Amino acid sequence: MHSIAQIRQALINGDYSAVEITQFYLDCIQALEPHLHSFITVTPELALSQAQEIDRWRAEGKELPPLAGVPIGIKDNMCTMGIPTTCASKMLANFVPPYESTASHKLRLAGAITLGKTNLDEFAMGSSTENSAFGTTSNPWQLERVPGGSSGGSAAAVAGGECVVATGSDTGGSIRQPAAFCGVVGIKPTYGLVSRFGLVAFASSLDQIGAFGKTVVDTAQMLQVMAGYDPKDSTSLQVPIPDYGALLNNLDLTCKGKKIGVIRETLSSEGLEPEVKSAIQQAIDHFVNLGAEIVEISCPHFAYGLATYYIIAPSEASANLARYDGVKYGLRAENADNLLSMYQQTREQGFGAEVKRRIMIGTYVLSAGYYDAYYLKAQKVRTLIKQDFDRAFQQADLLLTPTAPTTAFPRGSKTSDPLSMYLSDLLTIPVNLAGLPALSLPCGFDRGGLPIGLQLIGNVLREDLLLQTAHIYEQTTPWHAHQPPALGADNGMV
């Protein structure tokens, strides 16, 4: 397994150059992309030039930055200056941003090597990465299965070994659910901890940039680099940022003194597969063996999260996507007779079915006569969900749930049933509505060999406790060491 620490040590020892490491991962992408289709855009020239810069720093004896030489994937809804940012949509197929997102800029300054832009559901709307205008992504564990969504390209790229770490965005579970489906670690931080500047907006009060890695340590180091105040983002938090990676060094692998709350409603939720429930129960038992105190928690409004989300998120999407009208950037319908016709034809041609569906839902619930009945009521329920979490954290340090009610489902099995697809995010959505940090990590496999994800939820700005507890679980269980059987070959380069 190639980790950030292994790559850094290899560079310091002179075992490999950054160019050699980068070329290795570019070769992996070339070999695996016909099977996975994790990337929309691959940037070999840029990656190799960045690697050459790292090698020059090393040759000059400069101290290497924290992510020096680490090949990463960037989800293709984060603006990257000079590199196409498509949001997996025909609407932005030829859009090349004139500026860089804050998160990707910080990663670049930390020495990370940009291999390319990863695939996603169009405008991050979906749970399977089947809504991309540029083709679907496959799950590395079983190619006929979905990798989850919307950050399925990033999760599949990390799981399949096409990059070491990757970025994602999470509006209702779009990092954690694909992390669970692909057997990797994915973290969604506290709302406002990572700047959203340069993240193409879906639902602004819910969106948050996070990270994928094969281990908790790698994910923590990614978060460490991206977190911090940004004056370009009005929702950015001005708070001290702990050294998340250092907090995991020489950690006593015990959970004595920790109270972990199990949310009762999540283990009886609709559609929870027996094998998923069994794996979660085994994880609970493991935490008991580690010394944790397990507390049963009730969050009575948890089940209303899904309905609340599918009012609030489409409403915000309706407003955010109004900017795609063919005037300033993106696709423009060329044969329109008048301005109104140009708007209409541009959106008909540029948006896919799921994006159109959510725009129509959002516009409907915001319209006169329905605003109070739907949108205003949803915001009130959102407050009740947040209050449930507030009470829960008076009884427990962390909360534990399954990440998703099922393991990865077959491609095409839910595309004709949007409501069934929406249920994939049933257990992750309430976290976004409350603005809390949460993390998914592997906790077992079903009989078919597909990964199962465990979700840990922290209180506001308690990423430190979240990462420490996840690291302890990871290091005392075997699940993180498993590789996808078809794509897990590792030549031991680093």
The structure tokens listed for 185 are 């670690």
Instruction: Please indicate whether residue 95 or residue 368 has the higher confidence score (pLDDT).
Output: 95
Determine the longest span between alpha carbons in the chain, in angstroms: 71
Query: Does the pLDDT value for residue 431 go beyond 60?
Result: yes
Q: Give the separation between CA 254 and CA 202, rounded to whole angstroms.
A: 40
- Mean pLDDT value of segment 150-168: 98
- The model's pLDDT over 340-376, given as tens digits with 9 standing for 90+, comes to 999 999 999 999 999 999 999 999 999 988 999 999 9
When the pLDDT of each residue in the chain is averaged and rounded to a whole number, the result is 95
pLDDT above 90 covers what percent of the chain?
93
Rounded to 10°, the helix 4-13/18-36 angle is: 150
pLDDT for position 486? 59
Active-site residue, from 89, 101, 174, 424: 174
Query: Does the pLDDT value for residue 408 go beyond 60?
Result: yes
In this prediction the pTM is: 0.96
Domains belonging to the chain, first-starting first, are 4-254+438-481 (3.90.1300.10)
Query: Does the pLDDT value for residue 413 go beyond 70?
Result: yes
The answer to whether residue 258 is catalytic is no
Strands 398-402 and 451-458: antiparallel
pLDDT for position 2? 83
The answer to whether residue 174 is catalytic is yes
| 432, 435, 439, 445 alpha-carbon torsion, rounded to 10° | -20
3-state SS class at 104:
helix
Give 390-453 as a 3 state SS string. Answer: HHHCCCCCEEEEECCCCCCCECCCCCCCHHHHHHHHCCCHHHHHHCCCEEEEEEEECCCCCEEE
- Mean pLDDT value of segment 166-193: 98
- The model's pLDDT over 255-280, given as tens digits with 9 standing for 90+, comes to 999 999 999 999 987 789 999 999 99
Residues contacting residue 93 through CB under 8 Å, at least 6 positions apart: 84, 86, 133, 331
Active-site residue, from 38, 89, 101, 150: 150
Sign of CA dihedral 206, 209, 213, 219: negative
Active-site residue, from 75, 106, 214, 258: 75
pLDDT above 70 covers what percent of the chain?
98
pLDDT for position 487? 62
